[in-house]
Chains A and B, each alone.
Chain A
C-alpha cells in the first residue's frame, strides 16, 4: 500500500514519523528527568522542613526534660520541707512559660511515715499559681502512667498526650523523672518529679505546616496515636493501625516505620482524600513521637505537567507546520517530476516531437529533464535510422523473396511418374534456411531410356550460394549428355567451377543416371551424403557408397569416377542434403542419422512424395521452434522397371 503511494506522501510520512518519534522521545525523557529532579529536590526540602520542625519541637521539650532531671538530682540530696517543695515547684512553673504545672510525688510513707499519699502539685490558674496536694483513696497516683512508668523504667519518660479537663480540656503531656534515696550502695525509689506542658503550641506548629496547597503535617505518639491531623476525628481517637479500608493499609505500612522511630521518605496516598504523594517522617528525639509531612505529588508535579502540556501543544503545532512545509517541498520536487512523467508517458506513445516542460532549476529534476530530452533526440534519431534500415531491409527481403522465387522457379516442379513415365516416379522438395538457399536438385531425361537426377549442397547460404547453385545446375545440365558417365560430367563441371571461383565456393553433389530399362544406375558423388537405397523385399536400407571425393569447385583437375549400381523394380533411391541430419532442436541436439534411417525403413514402400513429406515432417517435429540453419533438400526416386508400375 505504502509502496504505491506518491513520493510526496512517502517523504512527508517518513519525515513526520521520524520527527514525531524523536519529539515524543525527547518530551518523555525531559519529563522523566525533570520529574526525578523535582522528586530529589522535593525530598531534600521535605527533609529540611521536617527536620527543622522536629528540631524546633525538641528545642522546646528538651529544656523541660532537663528541668525535671535537674530537680530530680537536687531532690535526691537532703531532706526538704513541704513548704520548700512547694516553693521549688512554684519557681519551676513560674520560670518556665511552657510548663503548665509540676508535681513532686513521693512513694508511700517516704516523705512522711504517716502519709500514704504525698504529692505537692503546683499549676497555673488564670494569672496565678495554685497549690494542690494530689493523691487520695479516689486517686492512687502510684498507679498512674506518669508515676508508674518512670518508676518501673527507672528513667525519664514522656507520657502520651492527654486532654486535661482541669486545665480547660487542652492537650497536655507530662515529663516525669524518678528520683532516689541513696543509702550507701542502695538506691531506693523515693518519688517522681513531673512537669506538665500544654501541647497547644505543638499542635499549632504541626497544623500550620502547609506544603503547596493540600500538603500537611501530622504527629503521632510512639504508639501511633494521632496527636494532630487535619482529619480532626482521628486526633487522640485513632492510630496509624486502626484506620479501616484501603487507605488504612497505607497508614499501617508507614506506621511501623514511624513507631520504630525511623526517618524516611516514601510514596504515600492521603488516607482521607486519596491524593497521591510522598511522606517524610522523622522522630521527635525527646519524646519518641513521630512527625509526618505529606507532600502532594500532583501539586509538586503541576509545573512539570503544565510544561509538558505546553511542550506537547507546541510540538503538535510544530508538527502540523512541519507537515505543511514537507508537503510543499515534496510537492515542489514532485510537481516537475509529475509533469516530466506525463511528458514521458506521452512520448512513450510515440509522440517524440512533444516539447518537454522547461526545468525550473538545474537540480536533479533539471538534469533528469535534460537527460530525457537527450533521450528523446536520440530516440528520434534512432527511429529515423531504424526507419531507413527497415526500409532497406524490407527492400533486400523483397529482393531475396524474388530471388527465392527465381531459385524455386529454376527447380523442376513437375515430377515425373506414372502414367506418363510408367517406369519410375520421383518427388523432390527443397526447404531453404533463408529466403534463398544453396541446395539444389534437378532431373531430366538424357534420352528416352536414361534419366539423370542430381542433388547438391553449395557451401554458404543466401544469394551467393543460390547463384553458385544456379551456375552449378546450368553447368550440370550443359555437360550432361547421353553417353557421358556421371563421373565425367562431374569432372567437367568441377573444372568449369574451379576455373573461376574467386569466392572459393564449393558444392557437394550427387549425380545419378538411371537406365530405365534395366535399372542400372551410374552415379558419381562429389563429397555429398551417400543416398540410401530402400530395399523393398525386407524393408532394409543401404547407402550407395563410393570413394571419398572432394566437393566441386575446389580442385580444378580433380577426376571423378562413375560407379555402378542396380535398382530393382520397386526399390527406391533416397537422396538428401545434410540439412536433414544436422537439423537441431531447441536444445541444439541434432536430428541425426538413426531417426532418419528409421523413417526410411518404416516408410520404404511409400510414395516418394509421401516419403519426402514424412521425412520433412519428422525433421520439423524435431526442430520445433528452433530456427532452421541449413537448407533441407530431399529427393526420392522409385523404380518400377520397364514393365512400369503405379506410385501409391
Chain B
C-alpha cells in the first residue's frame, strides 16, 4: 500500500516537472524582445484631443512597434516645455509657436510630427456685448489664457489697430459666462462645445476663427530633444507611426475611441461628458486632415515660417531657427 503511494507521488512529481519544462520555452518566447520604454506628455489632461495616443496604447499599437509607452497625464501643473527640457518626458506634445520659441532660445529640440495642421484657437463674444465684428472688440475685456495662447490674439488686435483689455486667467469660460469678460479666447474643439453644454448655443455667439485669419498656426505637434532624436530615431518614428495608426483607428471607431478616452479621463478625475468628447474627436479629425497638397503628420515650411515671422514681429524670438534642423525626418515614412 505504502509503496504504491510513493510510486504515485513520484509519478506526479515527474509529470509536473515535465509540464513545467514543457511550458518554459513558450513562456520565454511570449516575453519576446525587450520593449523599449518611452514616456509621452500630452499638452493637457486626458481628453479626445489626444484620443490617438490613448487608443494606440489601449489597442497595443505601441507594443506591436516594440514600445512600452507611458502616457503622463497632462495638466496645468505639468508644462510640456519643462518636462521636455528637464527630461521628465521623452516626447511631448506642444504648440508649434512654443516649440519655435524653445528652439530660438537655444534648446536643441526636434519636431517629429505635426498633428494639428491648422489653428483651433478662436474668440467668441457673447450676446449683449454689442460685438458683431472684430473691430467691435476695441476697448473690450478679453479673457485669455496665459503665455503662448495670447500670441495670436494680441497679434491680431495689433494688426487691426485694436486696443483691448486683456484678462489673463486659466479658465476663460466662467468669467465670460458671469459677464466679467466680453470676449473669451477658447478652443474650437473644447470650450466652444462647452459653451453649448452650458446653454449658450453657437447661434448666440459671435466667433472669430484664427484658422480663417492670417494667423493660422498649426498647433499640437510632437517634439523630442535633439539628442533623443539622434539616439532613438527609429523608435521615435515607430512611436509616430503607431500614434497615427491610433488616430486612424479612433476616427474609424469613434464610439470605442471615446470609451477609451473616457476611461483615461475618469482615472484622472477629469470631468467627462461623452457628447463633448465625441464632438472633440470629430473636430480632431478635421484638424489633423492636412490642407490641400499637404500630407498627414507633416509640417509645411510655409506654416513654420509664418509662425516664426509672427513670433519675430512680437519680439518673442530673434531669428528664425533652421527649419531643416527643426523638422526631423520621420514623418515622411509615417505618411506613406
Contact = CB atoms under 8 A, between A and B. Distances in A.
Nearest to B79: A138
B132 interface: no
B146 interface: yes
Given A138-B77, A139-B77, A143-B146, A149 B199 contact: no
A277 B44 CA distance: 42
Contacts of A252: 199
B170 A239 contact: no
A222 B199 CA distance: 10
Nearest to A256: B199
Interface in B135-161: 141, 145-146
A242 B174 contact: no
Nearest to B268: A165
A144 B180 contact: no
B10 interface: no
Q: Which of A160, A222, A225, A241 gathers most chain B CB within 10 Å?
A: A241
Nearest to B193: A242
B205 interface: no
A164 to B, nearest CB: 10
Looking at chain B's contact residues, is the secondary structure mostly helix, strand, loop, or mixed? loop
Contacts, number: 88
Contacts of A256: 199
Nearest to B169: A148
Interface stretch (B222-230, B271-279, B282-290, B296-304): B271-279
Interface in A135-184: 138-140, 142-145, 148-149, 152-153, 157, 159-160, 163, 165, 169
B198 interface: yes
A116 to B, nearest CB: 14
B272 A237 contact: yes
B110 to A, nearest CB: 26
B181 interface: yes
Interface in B211-250: none
Interface residues on B, range: 20 to 34
B308 to A, nearest CB: 26
Mostly helix, strand, loop or mixed at chain A's interface?
loop
A224 B198 contact: yes
A145 B171 contact: yes
A255 to B, nearest CB: 6
Contacts of A222: 177
B168 A142 contact: yes
Contact of B180 (A138, A153, A163, A241): A153
A243 interface: yes
A238 interface: yes
Contact of B169 (A143, A163, A169, A241): A143
B276 A242 contact: yes
Nearest 10 pairs between A and B by C-beta?
A148-B169, A143-B170, A152-B180, A242-B197, A223-B198, A239-B197, A143-B169, A153-B180, A241-B199, A236-B271
Given A145-B175, A223-B174, 12 more contacts: A143-B145, A145-B170, A149-B175, A153-B175, A160-B174, A222-B177, A237-B271, A238-B273, A240-B199, A252-B199, A256-B199, A259-B199
24 contacts: A138-B77, A139-B77, A142-B168, A142-B169, A143-B145, A143-B169, A145-B170, A149-B174, A149-B178, A149-B180, A152-B167, A159-B174, A160-B174, A223-B174, A223-B177, A225-B271, A236-B271, A240-B199, A241-B197, A241-B199, A242-B196, A244-B275, A252-B199, A259-B198
